[in-house]
């Protein structure tokens, strides 16, 4: 069951507020500058107002202005907002003067940006206070005190604005309904892996029939953490999950493939000059070929050749496959630049056109590693339900996988993507990929 959470929705509510604040600030700037609204449409054309608003929102997104945490009242948050408004103002000024040739008066522009900073800061402080009043933590009871129950309890501590864990229920002298009534429970979380025993099953059904919200631990966990808790699940959950049903996604696969072809062709054409520049620098900075190919596991565990610009010394691997790490000594000087900007991945657009990969999906692993990981990580093969991608949900949420434990953690994100795959999520992943490059993070 999908939960409506204030923490999750806050991003969209803050965005809606900014969409109103930015144009309002420019209109206010005009009024404070001239004392009236005469010639407003001439000095600030409506189309200019629209794309300027969009420009500010893009910069705000890349600078994490919508990642609101416990530091919302801190000086650091105010500094981040100030820098974001300043950088957005420079960006929009460049577009105004350099591209669109519709510059806004300096007086209006300065007043508007000062207003944007003050009002969006006040808006975030106001929203923080109002959300505390509107969204009271729901009194929550967890069924089961095993590892799965303890894990969801730990997660809910980070979402204390939304949930108040009253306690755990296992084998009590009182019935589940009696305890729920006594402790005024609103949500019951079933953390029992697999099917509960018959008596507990009856108790949960009765709780649902009287109007209590009964949620399975994996469903709530993935809603909150945006990953699937593979260590606390059974095959039963996957059998019921529509996200792993091919027939439910057949149309989406066709749309996704069409978009892969269109955008891969566009990017390849635009990047041809960049391909030539990178090729020259690869040859000048190290011995060996420009391109590098390697066997990877694709959809349905079919092996294919993946292409990259060579970022390591020639013949870096001789014999046994080795896990790649962030500060790998085998990476060349220019290769570090390529990896930092993810430009070494560009040749994989050819793999996308060939139908071996998609723009978005789980990153393809090497056959040697896949054989190990399938033995040690439950449900690992499910990540091969879709084509691998140039970027993916695990890539934007977790660093390099340099061990089995890292791969286990990344699989949680990969399976979340498999389950929830849609065009909006793909767009979000692409934006977060550029955001990570912008912040120069792995």
CB 400 within 8 A of CB 391: no
Task: Tell me the pLDDT tens digit for each residue of 152-184.
Answer: 999 998 887 789 999 998 766 678 898 999 999
Residues forming beta bridges with residue 140, ordered by sequence position: 165, 187
Q: Specify the range with the lowest mean pLDDT, choosing from 80-94, 206-220, 253-267, 306-320.
A: 306-320
- pLDDT value at 266 more than 60: yes
CA distance 70 to 48: 35
The radius of gyration of the chain from alpha carbons, rounded to an integer in Å, stands at 26
- Which residue has better confidence, 432 or 322? 432
Task: Tell me the pLDDT tens digit for each residue of 195-236.
Answer: 777 888 888 999 999 889 999 999 999 989 999 999 998 888
What number is the average pLDDT over the span 377-403? 90
Could you tell me how far CA 358 lies from the centroid of its own chain?
17
Q: Specify the range with the lowest mean pLDDT, choosing from 75-84, 109-118, 128-137.
A: 128-137
- The pLDDT of residue 439: 63
The overall average pLDDT reported for the chain is: 85
Confidence grade of residue 2 (pLDDT, cut at 50, 70, 90): very low
CA distance 286 to 281: 8
- What are the residue ranges spanned by the domains of the chain? 6-134, 138-225, 245-438
- The pLDDT of residue 135: 72
Q: What fold is seen in the domain 138-225?
A: Rossmann fold (3.40.50)
What number is the average pLDDT over the span 244-259? 86
Q: Specify the range with the lowest mean pLDDT, choosing from 308-322, 358-372, 423-437.
A: 308-322
Q: Specify the range with the lowest mean pLDDT, choosing from 135-144, 184-193, 315-324, 359-368.
A: 315-324
DSSP for 301-319 reads G-EEEEEEE--B-TT---S
- The pLDDT of residue 318: 64
List of residues 6+ apart from 281 with CB closer than 8 A: 334
CA distance 253 to 246: 9
Task: Tell me the pLDDT tens digit for each residue of 313-356.
Answer: 877 666 566 666 666 678 888 888 888 888 999 999 999 999 99
Characterize the bridge pairing of strands 303-309 and 291-297: antiparallel
CA distance 87 to 324: 35
Confidence grade of residue 3 (pLDDT, cut at 50, 70, 90): very low
- pLDDT value at 71 more than 60: no
- Which residue has better confidence, 159 or 28? 28
- pLDDT value at 62 more than 60: yes
* Percentage, residues of the chain above pLDDT 90: 42
The CA-atom distances, in angstroms, between 207 and each of 217, 221, 412 are 16, 21, 30
CA atoms within 13 A on the CB side of 178: 4
- pLDDT value at 36 more than 90: no
- pLDDT value at 297 more than 80: yes
């Amino acid at each position: 069951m999908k939960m409506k959470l204030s923490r999750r929705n806050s991003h969209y509510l803050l965005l809606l507020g900014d969409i109103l604040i930015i144009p309002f600030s420019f209109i206010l700037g005009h009024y404070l500058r001239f004392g009236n609204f005469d010639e407003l449409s001439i000095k600030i054309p409506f189309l200019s107002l629209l794309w300027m608003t969009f420009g500010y929102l893009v910069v705000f997104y890349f600078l994490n202005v919508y990642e609101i945490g416990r530091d919302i009242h801190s000086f650091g948050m105010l500094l981040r907002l100030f820098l974001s408004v300043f950088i957005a103002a420079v960006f929009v000024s460049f577009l105004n003067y350099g591209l669109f040739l519709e510059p806004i008066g300096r007086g209006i522009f300065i007043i508007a940006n000062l207003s944007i900073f003050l009002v969006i800061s006040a808006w975030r402080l106001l929203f923080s206070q109002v959300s505390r009043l509107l969204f009271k933590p729901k009194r929550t009871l967890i069924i089961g005190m095993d590892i799965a129950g303890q894990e969801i309890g730990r997660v809910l501590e980070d979402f204390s604005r939304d949930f108040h864990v009253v306690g755990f229920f296992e084998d009590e002298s009182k019935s589940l309904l009696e305890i729920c009534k006594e402790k005024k429970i609103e949500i019951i979380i079933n953390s029992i892996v697999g099917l509960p025993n018959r008596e507990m099953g009856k108790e949960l059904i009765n709780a649902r029939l009287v109007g209590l919200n009964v949620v399975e631990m994996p469903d709530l966990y993935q809603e909150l953490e945006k990953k699937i808790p593979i260590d606390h699940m059974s095959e039963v959950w996957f059998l019921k999950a529509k996200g792993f049903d091919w027939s439910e996604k057949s149309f989406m696969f066709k749309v996704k493939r069409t978009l892969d072809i269109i955008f891969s062709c566009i990017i390849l054409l635009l990047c041809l000059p960049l391909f030539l520049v990178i090729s020259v620098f690869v040859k000048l900075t190290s011995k060996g070929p420009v391109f590098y190919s390697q066997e990877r596991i694709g959809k349905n565990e079919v092996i294919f050749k993946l292409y990259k610009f060579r970022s390591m010394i020639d013949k870096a691997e001789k014999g046994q496959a080795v896990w790649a790490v962030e500060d790998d000594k085998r990476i060349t000087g220019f290769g570090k630049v390529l990896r930092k900007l993810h430009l070494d991945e560009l040749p994989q657009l050819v793999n996308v056109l060939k139908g071996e990969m998609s723009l978005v999906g789980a990153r393809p692993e090497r056959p040697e590693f896949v054989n190990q990981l399938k033995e040690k990580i439950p449900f690992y093969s499910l990540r091969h339900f879709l084509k691998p991608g140039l970027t993916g949900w695990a890539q934007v949420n977790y660093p390099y996988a340099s061990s089995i434990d890292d791969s286990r953690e990344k699989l949680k994100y990969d399976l979340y993507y498999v389950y929830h795959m849609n065009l909006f999520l793909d767009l979000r992943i692409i934006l977060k990929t550029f955001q990570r490059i912008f912040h120069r993070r792995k």
